[in-house]
Amino acid sequence: MLKNFGIKVRELRAEKGLTKEIFCQDETELSIRQLTRIENGQSLPNLSKVVYIASRLGVSVGTLTDGEVVELPRRYKEIKYLLLHTPTYGNQAKLEERESLFDDIFNNYYDHLPEDEQLIMDALQSKLDIHFSDNINFGRGILNDYFDQVLLKDYYQLNDLIIIDLYLSCLTINGLEDSIFRQSAFDRIIEVLICQGDSLPLDDLFMLNNVLLNNFELFFLLKKHKEIEEIILLSNNIMQKIHDFHKKPVVNILEWKYYLLVKNDVKKAEESYHSAVMLAQLIGNAYLAEKLEEEWAQDLKK
């Protein structure tokens, strides 16, 4: 697959007298590190990067790919969809199913994937490892390599959202006490995330919703009450757009915590709690319903 792609890119770039720094511009679309790996044949680009590279070189995509189609295996795409769209809510059986999907990816597809797809799998696996171990070191390598590049962007794509989700998960696990927390970086990504509800394609909106809801504890720790209100509104709008309400119980949790812990409105908090339990029961998730009841009891004691 794309056997001579890197060689062609390196030769054409040299012919045009473009240094890697000039070629990659501000590195929001392609970093110097990524370009180096592509040119050395150490990684494969995804379609969007192939298009970007061709545009920078002033040639057609076909010139660089010898007419090969940059297409992912159908089964891989199916597994990726399941990994991204299936919530576990901490259910051990669901987590084990998730681990078996990763085994399928790494045993049968990983080595032949473009670097961006490998990054998605690495980040998702790291997040699972962090969940099982409470050790954020599983995510440090990825964040060291990619997080600063994400911070440069004003518009996030799927890979960026997955990196941000990993970053926020690390902060949640360590309660903001670790050296990876920077207030300015946190504020920046939250500002950009909240602004993208109307601009992301539908296929990426589900991930935006996940990122905002998966780590909402951080907003209470940092007393980001205005942002909590915005996230509740945005999340409800996203679910209406994509017709996917699996995260609605999580929105209800966020609502009840906001009413209970910020507004001191027990009545409204209880209404959101009952809505969350009802939804969990409607989707047949007894495990989630039980966890909601435990969480509500703990919050009432605070």
Average pLDDT estimate for 88-108 = 90
**Does residue 82 sit in the same domain as residue 221?**
yes
> What distance in Å separates the CA atoms of residue 62 and residue 13, rounded to the nearest whole number?
16
Contacts of residue 206, defined as CB under 8 A and 6 or more positions apart, other chains included, come to 84, 85, 238, 242, 244
**Does residue 47 sit in the same domain as residue 167?**
no
**Does residue 163 sit in the same domain as residue 273?**
no
Put residue 17 in one of left, alpha, beta given phi > 0 → left and psi -120 to 50 → alpha.
left
What domain range is 24 assigned to?
Answer: 5-65
> What distance in Å separates the CA atoms of residue 243 and residue 280, rounded to the nearest whole number?
17
Q: What is the CATH number of the domain that holds 34?
A: 1.10.260.40
User: Residue 100, Cβ neighbours under 10 Å: how many?
Assistant: 9
Domain boundary among 241, 256, 279: 241
Dihedral pair phi/psi, residue 114, rounded to 5°: -60, 155
**Does residue 228 sit in the same domain as residue 251?**
no
**Does residue 137 sit in the same domain as residue 21?**
no
Query: What are 11-51's pLDDT values in tens digits?
Result: 999 999 999 999 999 888 888 988 998 999 888 887 778 88
- Spell out the alpha helix ranges (H) of 109-136: 115-133
Question: Residues 134, 176: contact at Cβ < 8 Å?
Answer: no
pLDDT band at 93 (very low <50, low <70, confident <90, very high): confident
**Does residue 289 sit in the same domain as residue 257?**
yes
**Does residue 180 sit in the same domain as residue 287?**
no
213: helix, strand or coil: helix
Domain count, the chain: 3
Please give the mean pLDDT across all residues of the chain.
90
- Count, residues in the chain: 302
Query: What are 218-277's pLDDT values in tens digits?
Result: 999 999 999 999 999 999 999 999 988 888 999 999 999 999 999 999 999 999 999 999
User: Residue 33, Cβ neighbours under 10 Å: how many?
Assistant: 15
